[in-house]
Amino acid sequence: MNNDRTAALTKKNYKPKRSSFKELLQRNRDSGGYLFRKNVGHWFFVFVRGVLLFGLCFLILQPLLNKIALSFMSEADIFDPTVHNIPREFTTDNYTMTALLMTYWMSLRNTFFLTLVIAFLQVAACTFVGYGFARFKFPLKNFWFGCVMVLILVPPQTILSTLYLHFYNFDVFGIITFFRGLFFTPAQEGDVLGPLNLLGSPLPYLMMSATCMGLKNGLYIYMIRQYFRNVPKDIEEAAYVDGCGKFKTFYAIMLPDAKAIIVSCFLFSFVWQWTDSLFSNLFLRSMNVLSSTVGTLDESLTDYFISNYGRNAFPSLGYQQQIVATGMLMFIAPLILLYLVAQKGFVESISQSGIKM
């Protein structure tokens, strides 16, 4: 008993003895120089990896840090050659001015609710379509999936004019024109009630998202399809044996297991929709959203100066850059907050979907 206790205490308090420099040299000679080459290669790899990671992080963070420093500077600090990254006169007036020019809180509210609804519609529609491509056979299946690939490859700018004309004169086989002429009377004599003009409203955006024609929808369909293709079919067959239909098998068995890929697609959709300016400028010209207001900050600042200080009053170029930098920070701040809140779930969903895909 005492011997066991002594051995346990000795093992607990044991500290390995460090090899002396002479012993290391002897071991290196005994190994024919292998130990030295191994250690040198290891530390060289660690050094190069550290330099590359530092450089990469610096390239990513340096512009953001510059914008943060610029947003808290006064206009005098911009033209002071002794001020670099730390403001001499710390001020938050730039944020007050930017919030006024962007109508920030109203634009933030509109952007959040619109982005949330569109992301939900996109993920819901793409989940149904991706599951259908993965599990069912139907005529021209390969052709329709080829159309999905074209949707991924073709940039949306190529169909911008077509979308504009389509929603400017929106009609479905002449049905809308027929019913408008049947139930409504023209406001003035000679007017003709024709197709609807949906531009300036969120309806085109919502319709495209619900029909898998929204921003990046082809990519979401492909990701979800690849996920469901790798799920064993035995799970569905067992559900069919237990009396589940196709739809119940989908939402009760397959959908809960696909939470990881759905979360990934939802976060991607939310972020891309938040920063989109192409469709926002096309469909939402009469609606204040952040992606539109931040793109016209310099023009809004010029109009503000002219209306308040006279026709010949113009802001300096440095002050314009300050306001634009502040607007960009206020634009991406909700996305950074979203990432901090959903970081764990987002990383887990990406890793799980990557393993199963």
Residue 26 in domain? yes
User: 122 and 72, same structural domain?
Assistant: no
Residue 48, pLDDT above cutoff 50: yes
User: 264 and 180, same structural domain?
Assistant: yes
User: 109 and 195, same structural domain?
Assistant: yes
- Single pTM value for the model: 0.76
Dist. CA 282–CA 294, nearest whole Å: 16
Residue 260 phi, psi (nearest 5): -65, -50
When pLDDT is cut at 50, 70 and 90, the band that residue 357 belongs to is very low
User: 167 and 65, same structural domain?
Assistant: no
Alpha carbon 11 to chain centroid, angstroms: 53
User: 252 and 134, same structural domain?
Assistant: yes
User: 158 and 36, same structural domain?
Assistant: no
User: 18 and 120, same structural domain?
Assistant: no
What's residue 351's pLDDT? Answer: 54
Residue labelled with tokens 């503000």: 304
Tokens of 290: 């952040």
| End-of-domain residue from the set 78, 111, 128 | 78
Instruction: Give the residue from 266, 5, 246, 323 showing the smallest Cα distance to 117.
Output: 266
Q: How does pLDDT run across 199-255, given as a tens digit for each residue?
A: 888 888 888 999 988 888 989 999 899 888 888 888 888 888 877 888 888 888 888
When pLDDT is cut at 50, 70 and 90, the band that residue 122 belongs to is very high
Helix (H) or strand (E) holding 230: none
Residue 196 phi, psi (nearest 5): -85, 145
Q: Under DSSP, is residue 189 helix (H, G, I), strand (E, B) or coil?
A: coil
* Boundaries of domain holding 139: 103-295
| End-of-domain residue from the set 23, 43, 78 | 78
Q: What separation in angstroms does the CA of 232 have from each of 220, 235, 237, 356?
A: 21, 6, 9, 11
User: 203 and 142, same structural domain?
Assistant: yes
What's residue 348's pLDDT? Answer: 58
Buried b (16+ CB within 10 A) or exposed e, 318-327: ebbebbbbbb
Residue 281 in domain? yes
More confident residue, 288 or 143: 143
Phi-psi region of 234 (alpha: psi -120 to 50; beta: other; left: phi over 0): alpha
Residue 304 in domain? no
| End-of-domain residue from the set 277, 295, 313 | 295
Residue 326 in domain? no
User: 121 and 57, same structural domain?
Assistant: no
Instruction: Give the residue from 76, 72, 100 showing the smallest Cα distance to 86.
Output: 72
Residue 338 in domain? no
What's residue 108's pLDDT? Answer: 92
Residue 84, pLDDT above cutoff 70: yes
- The number of folded domains in the chain is 2
* Residue pair 135/236 in contact by the 8 Å Cβ criterion: yes
Residue 169 in domain? yes
User: 172 and 118, same structural domain?
Assistant: yes
**Where are the strands (E) in 307-357, listed by range?**
none
When pLDDT is cut at 50, 70 and 90, the band that residue 175 belongs to is confident
User: 238 and 169, same structural domain?
Assistant: yes
Alpha carbon 114 to chain centroid, angstroms: 15
Residue 182 in domain? yes
What's residue 8's pLDDT? Answer: 47
Number of other residues whose CB lies within 10 A of the CB of residue 138: 8
User: 136 and 281, same structural domain?
Assistant: yes
Residue 163 in domain? yes
Looking up residue 157, the CATH number of its domain turns out to be: 1.10.3720.10
Q: How does pLDDT run across 265-300, given as a tens digit for each residue?
A: 888 899 898 988 888 888 887 788 888 888 888 888
Q: What separation in angstroms does the CA of 74 have from each of 78, 80, 314?
A: 7, 10, 17
Tokens of 295: 């793109």
